[in-house]
Amino acid sequence: MSPRIAKALIHGLLIGGAIVALFPMLWMLSVSLMQPGQASALPPPLLPAHVTLHNYQQLFLRAGMGRYLLNSLLVSSAITVLSLALNLMAGYAFAKLRFAGRDALFQGVVGMLAIPAQVAMLPLFLMLKPLGLVNNYGGVIVPAMASAFGIFLVRQYARGIPDELLEAARIDGAGELRIFVRIVLPLLKPIMVTLAIYTFLTAWNDFMWPLIVLTGQEHYTLPLGLASLAREHATDTELMMAGSVITVVPVLVLFLALQRYYLEGLLLGSVKG
Amino acid sequence: MNRQPAAWLFLAPAAMVLGVFFLLPVMGAFVLSLTDYDLYALADLHNLRFVALSNYWALLHRPLFWAALGHTVYFVAVGVPLSMLVSLCAALLLHSPLARCKPLFRTVLFAPVVTTVVAVAVVWRYLFNTKYGLVNYMLGTIGIHPIDWLGNPHWAMPAIILFAVWKNLGYNMIIMLAGLQAIPSELYEAARMDGASAWRQFRHITLPMLAPTLLMVGILTISGYFQLFAEPYIITEGGPLQSTVSVLYLMYDEGFKWWNLGSASAIAFLLFAIMFAVTELMLRVGRKEVEA
């Protein structure tokens, strides 16, 4: 095969793949701007005849989408901040502090990665009920405040911190907490950004556990609100697409802005053992 | 100097969260699966009885459990190889020295991974619509009759598989791309000097060098695909004729719709056991292959 044909073939395939990857999202955006009913026609229209924000208006005024959006922001931000703090501390301890049983304990953390979260969901629900955490933001936030994956990721990264740096600070008489805040945290900044994006996206997109623990609409996150709308308004294509846009756009923007960190973290996290 | 106390202070918060809200419930799940915890026990714990393994026994005699397991295995057995093949092709294309604008293509192909599964599943539900859906419209332009994707029990699972391949393509692509980039280029240069064709280079250099990456990606993808839930919940609601009820879907219904928490825990544990066995098998066979 001549290089020119090969080149054309490769680019043809890449462009084709890119179209398939993007098309559903572009279609979603386009239909969300159509007037109710316009999408259900033959041939299926690709662009709105008259651009309207009617569907978005309906979602925020009638369907409580604003509330879901705020809930999602609140829950995802709280999980990100809290779990970042806990995972950073634990990951650093595993990487740089010596204590009895460290390796065995870390093996335990790695072992946890193999247990699917769903196994814990039924008893967790029963545990949280008497604690008053069912149908409550806390029910989503509290169990997500630390993650084996986050600890693993931080530990892998923190191993690169030179011991001499920490020893020098100790000789100068700095306490362990001070060393962590002043010396370690600045060095962990890249992995902090990575873990923060990863955690935020995971929390934002999470569906099964919030569906179980949030029983009332007033606490619904966007995916739950959207899922319940999809069952009530199955035939309102345009309205549903507007709801999907509101749900997806924040995470897409976040990813596009910080994708370098996200992709690096993905590779670091996948190199296990 | 003794730094043990400091270390434990750093560890304690995360250890408590993981211990109390993850490990304890995991162990609790096993205990729960040995009881008849149901709506009556939820109201008054005195109604709770220890039933040993009879939840498991009952499940093994329940056609719906086997059906759900069958659907999940179908999704894994077709979806995982298809997903990995498509991701590998994308990674090879992006790795080719002839390709231009690589960062752009990489970002675009990866974008579906970060989207909210519920939101894009809603989108695909409309794309798969029999009458107005664009999937059938496109097929129509090449002369294929409309397929009742979500209304026909034979087509619903393939539709969900197509959706999953689209959604997850980028994730494995990125890991495979990193694997490809780690292969020393001298190997290819030497092969070219010996006059090896592109196919032979792929077969005898790329594939063996990429094998450890493929094994890892395979295991991660299989565990992920066994946890099928949101896709059928949104796209088909388990239908038509329960043809897309997955194991987790059954667990969810059993536990939180009918409040048979004992039986639902048994379902969760059986799924976990199956996933564990498959992963273990792949690791054993895979390690042998990689070493050989």
* Yes or no, beta carbons of B115 and A115 under 8 Å apart: no
In CATH, what number is assigned to the domain containing residue B121? 1.10.3720.10
**Option in B7, B107, B166 nearest A97 (CB):** B7
CB contacts under 8 A, A 45-84 vs B, are: none
> Average model confidence (pLDDT) for chain B?
93
Q: State the average pLDDT over residues B106-126.
A: 96
- Sequence-ordered list of residues with C-beta below 8 angstroms from that of A70, at least 6 positions apart, any chain: none
| Distance, CA of B204 to CA of B151 (rounded, Å) | 45
> How close, in Å, is residue A184 to chain B by CA atoms?
13
Rounded to the nearest 10 degrees, how much is the dihedral formed by the CA atoms of B61, B63, B65, B68? 160
Question: Does residue B156 form part of some domain?
Answer: yes
Percentage of residues of chain B with pLDDT beyond 90:
85
Q: Is A33 exposed, middle or buried (0-12, 13-18, 19+ CB in 10 A)?
A: buried
> Average model confidence (pLDDT) for chain A?
93
Identity of the amino acid at B52: A
* Yes or no, beta carbons of A25 and B234 under 8 Å apart: no
Q: State the average pLDDT over residues A233-251.
A: 94
Q: State the average pLDDT over residues B158-185.
A: 95
Q: State the average pLDDT over residues B174-198.
A: 92
What was the pLDDT predicted at A242? 97
Of B71, B37, B42, the C-alpha closest to B153 is: B71
- Please report, for residues A115, A141, B27, B60, the alpha-carbon distance to residue B31 in angstroms, rounded to integers and kept in the order given: 16, 25, 7, 19
Residues A90-118 pLDDT 10s: 999 999 998 989 999 999 999 999 899 99
Look up residue A178 and give its two tokens: 């001070």
pLDDT at B1 > cutoff 60:
no
Question: Does residue B20 form part of some domain?
Answer: no
State the pTM of this model: 0.94
| Distance, CA of B147 to CA of B286 (rounded, Å) | 39
**Option in B6, B11, B114 nearest A90 (CB):** B11
> How close, in Å, is residue A128 to chain B by CA atoms?
9
Cβ atoms of residues A251 and B123 within 8 Å: no
- Sequence-ordered list of residues with C-beta below 8 angstroms from that of B125, at least 6 positions apart, any chain: A230, B150, B234, B235
The parent domain of residue B277 ranges over: 64-291
SS3 B35: strand
* Yes or no, beta carbons of B132 and A44 under 8 Å apart: yes
Question: Does residue B14 form part of some domain?
Answer: no
Q: Which of B3, B27, B96, B123 to mutate to test the interface with A (most CBs of A within 10 A)?
A: B123
**Option in B4, B118, B256 nearest A100 (CB):** B4
What was the pLDDT predicted at B3? 64
SS3 B50: strand
Q: Which of A116-120, A160-164, A269-273, B242-246 has the lowest average pLDDT?
A: A269-273
Percentage of residues of chain A with pLDDT beyond 70:
98
* Residue matched to tokens 């806390």: A138
* Yes or no, beta carbons of B119 and A248 under 8 Å apart: yes
- Sequence-ordered list of residues with C-beta below 8 angstroms from that of A256, at least 6 positions apart, any chain: B107
pLDDT at A273 > cutoff 60:
no
pLDDT at A228 > cutoff 90:
yes
Question: Does residue B48 form part of some domain?
Answer: no
pLDDT at A272 > cutoff 50:
no
Please indicate whether residue A211 or residue A270 has the higher confidence score (pLDDT).
A211
* Yes or no, beta carbons of A205 and B117 under 8 Å apart: yes
Q: What total number of domains does chain B contain?
A: 1
How many beta-carbon pairs below 8 A join chains A and B? Answer: 267
What was the pLDDT predicted at A271? 55
Of A196, A205, A191, the C-alpha closest to A267 is: A191
| Distance, CA of B138 to CA of B152 (rounded, Å) | 19
**Option in B26, B99, B111 nearest A14 (CB):** B99
Minimal Cα distance from B16: which residue of A?
A146
| Distance, CA of B166 to CA of B264 (rounded, Å) | 31
SS3 B249: helix
The domain ranges of chain A are: 55-270
pLDDT at B168 > cutoff 60:
yes
What was the pLDDT predicted at A53? 96
Name the CATH superfamily housing domain A55-270: MetI-like (1.10.3720.10)
| Distance, CA of B228 to CA of A208 (rounded, Å) | 11
Radius of gyration of the CA atoms of chain A, in A? 23
Tell me the pLDDT band of B266, cut-offs 50, 70 and 90. very high
Cβ of residue A89 closer than 8 Å to a chain B Cβ? yes
Question: Does residue B176 form part of some domain?
Answer: yes
Cβ of residue A167 closer than 8 Å to a chain B Cβ? no
